[in-house]
Amino acid sequence: MRKPIIAGNWKMNKTRDEALQFIYSVNMKLPNKALVDSVICAQAPVLRDLVKRQGDNLRIGAQTMHYLDQGAYTGEISAALLENIGVEYVIIGHSERRAYYNETDDAINKKLHQAFRYNITPILCVGESLATREAGTTNKFVKEQLVAALKGLGSEQVKSMVIAYEPIWAIGTGKTATAEMANETISHIRQVVKELYGDESASVVRIQYGGSVKPANIEELLAQSDIDGALIGGASLNEEDFLFMANAAVKK
Ligand code: PGA
């Protein structure tokens, strides 16, 4: 009953020409939007070009944005501009932003509120480091991230957002969490949503897995009970791989 969502996170990759080439070759072959949400999150300067060419079954997302409406914040991107150019999703709290750009739990919380103010669907990323996984405190850590990020949000907002569980040790490393391991932590995330917002929100919110997802492991991941899709970095750069993974979600 939860519609799968396959999102590509291109990170700092692709020129405008490469991005357009990708869109032209995938947008007629993506699964029907009634069955699967397919999203590409690209660098800010190409977002408008991609929105114009997204077609019926693809939607475009940003990789970050600021939490204030406007002002003297050199280099930042406002939610107002994203909404204005037709961007429908935004990744919030990716571990690379947390690690390299000091994105704090408090900023992430404010960004979620801001995304909702501008009708942009946030994809909130949470996930533990290898040290946390090895210390056996993953569930506690992820719960703390969630509680901090979701502070003050209403249940309707939580139902409409997307959460991506991305263990940091699995991102770009070729090491995927086993499907069972991913499902276990994602079930825990759903449980935390249940504690905070009740049964209905927990059963509606979509939770993706991310971290070295590729055509070879997408089916096994999607076969898990609580995994509603994937946030895909490296493998989303390739047209055929992205199509394969979006189409694999139809069977979910
Ligand atoms: P990866 O990245 O698929 O290249 O591991 C995932 C992500 O960072 O969202």
Q: What is d(CA 241, CA 244) in angstroms, rounded to the nearest whole number?
A: 5
HSE-up of residue 212 (Cα within 13 Å, Cβ side): 14
Dump pLDDT digits (tens) for 38-52.
999 999 999 999 999
- Supply 49's token pair: 């070009």
Q: Across residues 219-248, what is the average pLDDT? A: 98
Dump pLDDT digits (tens) for 71-115.
999 999 999 999 999 999 999 999 999 999 999 999 999 999 999
The mean of the pLDDT values for the chain is 97
Burial 105-123 (b: 16+ CB within 10 A, else e): bebbbbbbebbbebebbbb
Q: Which is the catalytic residue, given 66, 94, 103, 188?
A: 94
What pLDDT does residue 127 have? 98
Tell me if residue 96 is catalytic: no
Dump pLDDT digits (tens) for 149-194.
999 999 999 999 999 999 999 988 887 789 999 999 999 999 999 9
- Ligand 1: which residue has its CA nearest to atom 1? 233
What pLDDT does residue 174 have? 81
What pLDDT does residue 187 have? 98
The beta-strand segments (E) located in 77-149 are 89-92, 121-126
Q: Across residues 134-160, what is the average pLDDT? A: 97
Long-range contacts for 132-138 (Cβ within 8 Å, ≥24 apart)?
A: 133/167, 133/169, 138/167, 138/185
